[in-house]
């Protein structure tokens, strides 16, 4: 109950500040519409079905980019976490690529994939990929050696080591990585759609 | 030929200048059904020796044979119980006990039955659906013991299994493991740095010294049945071991057994 009051209060505060800004600033309505105008526009988009279609295409694009990214990242992360000699060579590369903002890849993305559907997908893919990859590699490396000793002692071999020991041991850390990546990828969805997509939440309607 | 034969075991680890000798020409033979305690201060190579005999680690020189076969890897017949229990936190107590049985290709019904039997033996049948994190340290170690016994191993290796427990729980578990292992005729190699624990448990106490890791002496404990920690015989042996560690003032009367 209290929580609802907090949320309503926050919404009210936001609306008042917004309206005050519009009244005091006196900017062009087209650049900074008032809350009422925005609500009307929102209704229009909703009535046209454009908004629903946009949400749908954004969501499916997001799902495709995110899922393909995390599946690949988890699979690669499991392999690279297990074979640390390989990871030793790839780790520096990952560390260099990781801090690059997904948006900074844009010129290359447009070069390789053109404009349209692909840039948004690829940006979501990149945004989700590194957090999940690094979380998975770290999780595999941090598996307590005693679990692996117990597995050896009790005659557990691959692929049972993967299913009985590695996957359950790394699951909590990967779940955290997935959660983080979900937030990051969503932020870049709209940005990605501004590059030539013909639909979606980032595609401007006038 | 003895059951376990450790012959001239040398294990070195890379050091700053020279390699560090964790085991220096260690010789030890153990008979079937014996309960052996490795006793010594930190760093004397107890875990190193145990890991080599259990097949987790290889020697640099010398050999280890069990029933005539050289040890090259761990085996379901020789189960190790670790100090931090090594339970899988995502499995229930019962599923932890079934772990080793799964590799033996046993049908689920039979696995459950065996797990049940050993959980009963360690007094935890009522906790079978709990997860390890919901149990006390002593209970977790009991689960680890049940899991080890469930595969009916010939040898149990234990590396300070009770070190993290409070004194009373520890004594209780010492009595339990002692009677269980003797009833089931297991051969035990048990690492500890607790002198009393070694006397309660062992047929022979192997006293090790560090730098480099060596066996100093072996003390036979001729106490029958359940051991009374306050009996004169017990204190006598205790005294003797203290003397071996040179932890008694020199002018005291010496006892020999
Ligand atoms: N993997 C390793 N790499 C380098 N040195 C090691 C390694 N394992 C053990 N040592 C060294 O070998 C010596 C013996 O170690 P070990 O673990 O066998 O001692 P311990 O008797 O079990 O001691 P504690 O009672 O503290 O467990 C120690 O000095 C330790 O530093
Ligand atoms: Mg040790």
What is the tens place of the pLDDT at every residue in B153-204?
Answer: 999 999 999 988 888 889 989 998 999 888 999 999 999 999 999 999 999 9
Tokens of B88: 């899988």
Q: Which ligand is nearest to the CA of B13?
A: 1
Residue in A154, A169, A171 closest to B103 by CB: A154
pLDDT tens-digit profile, chain A (206 residues)? 788 999 999 999 999 999 898 888 888 888 888 888 888 888 888 888 888 888 888 888 899 999 999 999 999 999 999 999 999 999 999 999 988 888 888 888 888 988 877 888 898 999 999 999 999 999 999 999 999 999 999 999 999 999 999 999 999 999 999 999 998 888 888 777 776 666 777 776 65
Q: Name the more confident of B257 and B102.
A: B102
Tokens of B205: 């106490």
**Residue A206 covered by a domain:** no
Nearest-CA residue of chain B relative to A172?
B90
- Same domain, yes or no: B116 and B233: no
Residues 61-80 of B with CB under 8 A from A: 73-76, 78-80
Q: What is the mean pLDDT of residues B94-106?
A: 95
Nearest-angstrom CA–CA distance, B173 and B162:
8
Spell out which residues of chain B touch residue A175, defining contact as CB-CB under 8 Å: none
- Same domain, yes or no: B73 and B163: yes
- Same domain, yes or no: A155 and A125: yes
Nearest-angstrom CA–CA distance, A71 and A128:
10
- Number of domains into which chain A is organized: 2
pTM here?
Answer: 0.82
- Same domain, yes or no: A117 and A155: yes
Domain boundary among A10, A31, A48: A48
Tell me how many residue pairs between chain A and chain B have CB atoms under 8 A apart: 50
Percent composition of chain B: helix, strand, coil (DSSP 3-state, to 5): 35, 25, 40
- Same domain, yes or no: A41 and A69: no
Q: Using N-to-C axis directions, what is the helix angle for B93-103 and B108-121, rounded to 10°? A: 130
**Residue B82 covered by a domain:** no
Q: Is B45 in the pocket of ligand 1 (CB under 6 A)?
A: yes
Asked if residue B227 lies in contact with residue B238, where contact means CB atoms within 8 angstroms, the answer is no
**Residue A71 covered by a domain:** yes
Residues around ligand 2, an ion, CB closer than 5 A: B 47
**Residue A203 covered by a domain:** no
pLDDT at residue number B220: 93
- Same domain, yes or no: B65 and B122: no
Domain boundary among B152, B174, B205: B152
Which ipTM score applies to this complex?
0.87
Domain boundary among B152, B177, B199: B152
Kindly tell me the sign of the dihedral angle through the C-alpha atoms of B140, B141, B143, B148: positive
Pairing of strands B69-70, B61-66: antiparallel
Residue B117: band (very low, low, confident or very high) from pLDDT cuts 50, 70, 90: very high
Q: Which of B45, B53, B82, B215 to mutate to test the pocket of ligand 1 (most atoms within 8 A of CB)?
A: B45
Q: Is B124 in the pocket of ligand 1 (CB under 6 A)?
A: no
- Same domain, yes or no: B166 and B188: yes
- Same domain, yes or no: A95 and A166: yes
Residue B46's contacts (CB-CB under 8 Å, 6 or more residues apart) are B38, B39, B40, B159, B191, B193, B208
B54/A153 touch (CB, cutoff 8 Å), yes or no: yes
Nearest-CA residue of chain A relative to B99?
A154
pLDDT at residue number A196: 62
Nearest-CA residue of chain A relative to B83?
A146
- Same domain, yes or no: B192 and B216: yes
Domain boundary among B152, B175, B190: B152
Q: Which ligand is nearest to the CA of B41?
A: 1
Residue B38 CA, closest ligand 1 atom number: 21
Spell out which residues of chain A touch residue B80, defining contact as CB-CB under 8 Å: 149, 153
- Same domain, yes or no: B26 and B117: no
Q: Measure A129 CA to nearest chain B CA, in Å.
A: 27
Nearest-angstrom CA–CA distance, A54 and A198:
9
Residue A80's contacts (CB-CB under 8 Å, 6 or more residues apart) are A86, A87, A90, A133, A137, A140
Nearest-angstrom CA–CA distance, A122 and A134:
19
Residue in B76, B84, B90 closest to A154 by CB: B76
Q: What are phi and psi of B13, to 5 degrees?
A: -115, 145
- Number of domains into which chain B is organized: 2
Quick: pLDDT tens for A46-104. 888 888 888 888 888 899 999 999 999 999 999 999 999 999 999 999 999 988 888 88
- Same domain, yes or no: A75 and A103: yes
pLDDT at residue number A205: 62
**DSSP track, B104-166:** TT--HHHHHHHHHHHHHHTT-GGGTTS-GGGS-HHHHHHHHHHHHHHT--SEEEEESTTTTS-
- Same domain, yes or no: B165 and B236: yes
User: Mutating which of B54, B74, B157 best tests the A interface, going by the most A Cβ atoms within 10 A?
Assistant: B74
If you take atom 12 of ligand 1, which residue's CA is the nearest one?
A: B22
**Residue A202 covered by a domain:** no
Report the SS3 class of residue B52: helix
CATH number of the domain encompassing residue A106: 1.10.3720.10
Spell out which residues of chain A touch residue B145, defining contact as CB-CB under 8 Å: none
Burial of B118 (0-12, 13-18, 19+ CB in 10 A): buried
- Look up the domain containing A42 and give its range: 1-48
Q: Work out the end-to-end distance of chain A between its first and last CA atoms, rounded to an integer number of angstroms.
A: 39
- Same domain, yes or no: B116 and B184: no
Spell out which residues of chain A touch residue B54, defining contact as CB-CB under 8 Å: 153
Q: Is B132 in the pocket of ligand 1 (CB under 6 A)?
A: no
Q: Using N-to-C axis directions, what is the helix angle for A84-97 and A50-82, rounded to 10°? A: 140
- Same domain, yes or no: A23 and A64: no
- Same domain, yes or no: A28 and A98: no
Q: Is B229 in the pocket of ligand 1 (CB under 6 A)?
A: no
Q: Cα(B159) to centroid of ligand 2, in Å?
A: 7
If you take atom 9 of ligand 1, which residue's CA is the nearest one?
A: B48
Nearest-angstrom CA–CA distance, B97 and B115:
6
DSSP state of B21: E
Q: Which ligand is nearest to the CA of B43?
A: 1
Asked if residue A129 lies in contact with residue A74, where contact means CB atoms within 8 angstroms, the answer is no
Q: Is B248 in the pocket of ligand 1 (CB under 6 A)?
A: no
Q: Which ligand is nearest to the CA of B208?
A: 1
Spell out which residues of chain B touch residue A160, defining contact as CB-CB under 8 Å: 102-103
Nearest-angstrom CA–CA distance, B4 and B155:
10
Among A48, A15, A11, smallest CA distance to A34 is for A15
**Residue A86 covered by a domain:** yes
- Same domain, yes or no: B107 and B176: no
Whole-number percent of chain B with pLDDT over 70: 95
Nearest-CA residue of chain B relative to A168?
B90
- Same domain, yes or no: B168 and B148: no
- Look up the domain containing B53 and give its range: 4-77+153-256
- Same domain, yes or no: B198 and B223: yes
**Residue B246 covered by a domain:** yes
């Amino acid at each position: 109950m209290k929580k609802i009051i907090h949320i309503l209060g926050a919404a009210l505060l936001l609306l008042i500040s917004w309206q005050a800004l519009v009244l005091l600033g006196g900017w062009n309505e087209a650049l900074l519409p008032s809350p009422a105008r925005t609500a009307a526009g929102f209704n229009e988009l909703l009535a046209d079905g454009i908004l629903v279609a946009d949400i749908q295409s954004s969501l499916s694009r997001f799902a495709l980019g995110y899922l393909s990214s995390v599946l690949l990242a988890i699979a690669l992360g499991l392999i690279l976490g297990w074979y640390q000699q390989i990871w030793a060579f790839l780790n520096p590369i990952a560390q260099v690529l990781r801090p690059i903002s997904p948006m900074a890849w844009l010129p290359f993305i447009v070069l390789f994939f053109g404009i349209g559907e692909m840039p948004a997908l690829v940006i979501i893919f990149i945004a989700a990929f590194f957090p999940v990859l690094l979380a998975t590699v770290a999780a595999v490396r941090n598996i307590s050696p005693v679990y692996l000793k117990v597995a050896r002692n009790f005659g557990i071999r691959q692929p049972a080591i993967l299913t009985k020991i590695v996957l359950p041991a790394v699951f909590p850390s990967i779940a955290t990585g997935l959660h983080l990546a979900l937030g990051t990828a969503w932020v870049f969805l709209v940005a990605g759609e501004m590059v030539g997509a013909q639909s979606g939440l980032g595609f401007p309607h006038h | 030929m003895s059951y376990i034969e450790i012959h001239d075991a040398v294990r070195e680890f890379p050091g700053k200048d020279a390699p560090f000798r964790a085991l220096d020409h260690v010789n030890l033979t153990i008979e079937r059904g014996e309960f052996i305690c490795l006793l010594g201060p930190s760093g004397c190579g107890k875990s190193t020796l145990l890991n080599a005999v259990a097949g987790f680690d290889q020697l640099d020189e010398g050999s280890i044979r069990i029933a005539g076969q050289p040890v090259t890897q761990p085996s379901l017949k020789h189960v190790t119980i670790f100090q931090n229990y090594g339970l899988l936190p995502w499995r229930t107590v019962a599923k932890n006990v079934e772990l080793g049985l799964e590799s033996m290709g046993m049908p689920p019904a039979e696995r459950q039955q065996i797990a049940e039997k050993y959980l009963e033996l360690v007094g935890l049948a009522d906790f079978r659906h709990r997860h390890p994190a919901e149990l006390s340290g002593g209970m977790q170690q009991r689960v680890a013991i049940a899991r080890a016994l469930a595969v009916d191993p010939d040898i149990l290796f234990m590396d300070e299994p009770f070190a993290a427990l409070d004194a009373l729980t520890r004594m209780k578990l010492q009595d339990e493991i002692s009677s269980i292992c003797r009833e089931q005729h297991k051969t035990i190699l048990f690492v500890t740095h607790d002198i009393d624990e070694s006397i309660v448990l062992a047929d022979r106490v192997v006293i090790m010294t560090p730098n480099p890791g060596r066996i100093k002496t072996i003390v036979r404990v001729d106490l029958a049945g359940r051991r009374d920690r306050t009996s004169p015989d017990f204190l006598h042996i205790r005294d003797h071991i203290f003397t071996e560690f040179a932890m008694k003032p020199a002018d005291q009367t010496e006892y020999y057994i």
